[in-house]
């Protein structure tokens, strides 16, 4: 089961190319800080602007560099089912521990179309699969009933990343899908309330910056120590919000640059932060006593 603190890892760029030296250091950083798994080529990893070749190479590199020290989940979602199959098959081939597939975006498929999409991929590729539900980006939400249909037919669909503020949905999912299905928060500020309802952890943006603290939050919640988890939540709350001053992953990559982890380089249509927002982000990072080198 995927649980605990999973980092939605940034993809570092340098001079227009993927910076594999920086990527290796980022993976090592999370191994050293006790992160439970790294997710590469997700939205935070700027997957929409990676070529297919880059996408496959980043996943393969991450698996080889991790070398069993930490689980690697590959973002393999697409709005075309055949592309999702291709990306997921490659992730399995190179040894990824699981795949995260976003609900097909822009097309706005029906619930039947969403069901067929996930069943097709899951039956074609026998790898543990997490469904990614983020209707604010995809334009459509997978219903709990549709998710239940998929899970009943495909036992390798083992969990979902939920980027929704609807706690009734999480309650319904928990009741219908049970303890063997791993619900993961997709929003750092919602990790605590979701875990209070039985979610197993978070696929986190904030743990790019403060991995030990996010790990401590999820470990406390999993152990039932919600007093401690709540204290950590409130301690990190300003960071959670600062990392979404602009579209993710712009602020978190900027924060990583400030910490000397990568270059401040994006691919269009993403671009650098407004100066006033970058200043706000810098002040928040300083308030945590982090060592800013840029």
DSSP assignments along the chain, one per residue: ---EEEEE----EETTEE-HHHHHHHHHHHHHTT-SEEEESSTTTTGGGS-HHHHHHHHHHHHHHHTTSSEEEEE---SSHHHHHHHHHHHHHHT-SEEEEEPP-SS---HHHHHHHHHHHHHHS-S-EEEEE-HHHHS----HHHHHHHHHH-TTEEEEEE----HHHHHHHHHHH-TTSEEEESSGGGHHHHHHTT--EEEESGGGT-HHHHHHHHHHHHTT-HHHHHHHHHHHHHHHHHTTSSSTTHHHHHHHHHTTSS-----TT--PPPHHHHHHHHHHHHHTT-----
Enumerate the active-site residues. 132, 161
Per-residue model confidence as pLDDT tens for the chain (294 residues)? 899 999 999 999 999 999 999 999 999 999 999 999 999 999 999 999 999 999 999 999 999 999 999 999 999 999 999 999 999 999 999 999 999 999 999 999 999 999 999 999 999 999 999 999 999 999 999 999 999 999 999 999 999 999 999 999 999 999 999 999 999 999 999 999 999 999 999 999 999 999 999 999 999 999 999 999 999 999 999 999 999 999 999 999 999 999 999 999 999 999 999 999 999 999 999 999 999 999
Spans of all domains in the chain: 4-223
Q: What pLDDT score does 1 carry?
A: 82
Q: Which fold has domain 4-223?
A: TIM Barrel (3.20.20)
Q: What pLDDT score does 283 carry?
A: 97
């Amino acid at each position: 089961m995927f649980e605990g603190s999973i980092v939605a890892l940034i993809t570092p760029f340098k001079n227009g190319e993927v910076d594999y030296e920086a990527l290796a250091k980022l993976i090592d950083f999370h191994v050293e800080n006790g992160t439970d798994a790294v997710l590469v080529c997700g939205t935070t990893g700027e997957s929409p602007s990676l070529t297919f070749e880059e996408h496959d190479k980043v996943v393969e590199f991450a698996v080889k560099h991790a070398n069993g020290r930490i689980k690697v989940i590959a973002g393999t979602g697409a709005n075309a089912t055949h592309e999702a199959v291709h990306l997921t098959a490659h992730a399995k081939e190179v040894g990824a521990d699981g795949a995260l597939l976003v609900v097909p975006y822009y097309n706005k498929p029906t619930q039947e179309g969403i069901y067929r999409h996930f069943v097709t991929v899951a039956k074609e590729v026998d790898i543990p699969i997490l469904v990614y539900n983020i209707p604010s980006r995809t334009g459509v939400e997978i219903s709990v009933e549709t998710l239940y249909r998929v899970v009943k037919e495909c036992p390798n669909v083992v969990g979902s990343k939920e980027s929704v503020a609807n706690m009734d949905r999480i309650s319904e999912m928990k009741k219908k899908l049970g303890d063997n299905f791993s619900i993961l928060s997709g929003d750092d500020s919602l990790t605590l309330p979701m875990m209070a309802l039985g979610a197993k952890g978070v696929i986190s943006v904030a743990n790019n910056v403060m991995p030990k603290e996010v790990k401590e939050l999820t470990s406390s919640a999993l152990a039932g120590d919600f007093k401690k988890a709540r204290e950590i939540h409130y301690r990190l709350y300003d960071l959670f919000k600062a990392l979404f001053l602009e579209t993710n992953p712009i602020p978190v990559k900027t924060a990583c640059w400030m910490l000397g982890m990568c270059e401040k380089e994006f691919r269009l249509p993403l671009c650098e932060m407004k100066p006033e927002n970058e200043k706000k982000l810098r002040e928040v990072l300083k308030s945590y006593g982090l060592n800013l080198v840029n």
